[in-house]
Structure 1
């Protein structure tokens, strides 16, 4: 039997410019599919009802909380973008590469897929076992591209913690899903249709 030479496999940092659009999308969708499957497995092992977990909220206030939280996050992001140097919020160019030439419908699809998959795993499954604080530490840790900057890591943690608290408050997973979707969608649209990108393309 032929032996596998594990020394040939090396982990190295990838420059975003090395990723073409197809590879970036394949990586994103595969990562989210794995996230979704792990989330379902954990939920089932916890003896939670997946149907109950994904039931739409019966109160309009659940959507109201999502809207309010989205507005607060976008306002905070606006203030950070205005007063903090750009290098502090740099994610290595991944978000720009992902959204800058994406059609609107695809920004919506990407935002929805990420919101559903990540919230099912983190709020629906992991938070059920660890609570919002430790879940948010884990959530911030997986967003590796922000770990170089304490401000962005802190913001990701705060957003995650807020999503977790909203889930506890409303009892509906769709509240953090809706907020997560709206935040990602608006951010994606700002990258796609923002003045800086338009100036750069002209």
Structure 2
């Protein structure tokens, strides 16, 4: 039996165009699973109960705050897309590849999974440790595909900061989860149906 040699591992940059649809989805689901696992472990190390973090509030304020933030983000994004050239907000084609041929139920499932996993990590665990401002810097840096252009990087930072503020205001993680879900769902559907008509 041959011994595995770690020195022979070659790492190379892979573009989104080199990934087939299955690998793109596998990559998405693996990164979200890792976000969830890291978030839960971080919460446990903080001495906090992940189950109590996910307790659904009895009042509907979180829905109004989450929906209001999502509406503001969507309006702002649509206004920006009217005046900013597409090249200045390019994410490398990831969102288009992810959503353009996906059925609406799958766009909704992806949006919900991403919202829950990322918000548990960023708003649930990281924000508790370092606050909404620094969490937003980390959140923008993690969304590395946007870092080539300052407009989407600034937008991701601003959205993240808004998510942190509404969570602090309402005291529940369900507010940023609702906002994150709605933004991803609507933007995914816009990409899906815009590309279908052209």
TM-score, L = length of structure 2? 0.96
Task: Name the counterpart of 1:161.
Answer: 161
Q: Structure 1 residue 104: deviation in Å? A: 0.6
Could you tell me how far apart the structure 1 residues matched to 2:51 and 2:169 are? 19
Alignment of 1:98-177 (within 5 A): 98-177=98-177
Number of residue-to-residue matches in the alignment: 197
Q: Deviations over 1:86-136 (max 9, x none)?
A: 100110101000000000110000000000000000000000000001100
Task: Name the counterpart of 1:6.
Answer: 7
CA RMSD of superposed structures (Å): 1.2
Q: Structure 1 residue 18: deviation in Å? A: 1.0
Alignment of 1:41-120 (within 5 A): 41-120=41-120
Q: Structure 1 residue 197: deviation in Å? A: 3.6
Task: Name the counterpart of 2:197.
Answer: 198
Q: Deviations over 1:62-94 (max 9, x none)?
A: 110011100100000011110000100110101
Q: Which segment drifts farther, 24-33 or 51-60?
A: 51-60
Alignment of 1:20-59 (within 5 A): 20-59=20-59
Assess, with a 3 A threshold, how the Cα gap between structure 1 residues 53 and 85 changes in structure 2: closer, same or farther.
same
Q: Structure 1 residue 2: deviation in Å? A: 3.1
Could you tell me how far apart the structure 2 residues matched to 1:11 and 1:18 are? 12
Task: Name the counterpart of 2:179.
Answer: 179
TM-score, L = length of structure 1? 0.94
Could you tell me how far apart the structure 1 residues matched to 2:19 and 2:87 are? 21
Gaps of 5+ in 1: none
Which portions of structure 1, spanning 4 or more consecutive aligned residues, are displaced by more than 2 angstroms? 5-8
Could you tell me how far apart the structure 2 residues matched to 1:17 and 1:151 are? 23
SS in 2 for 1:123: helix
Could you tell me how far apart the structure 2 residues matched to 1:38 and 1:16 are? 25
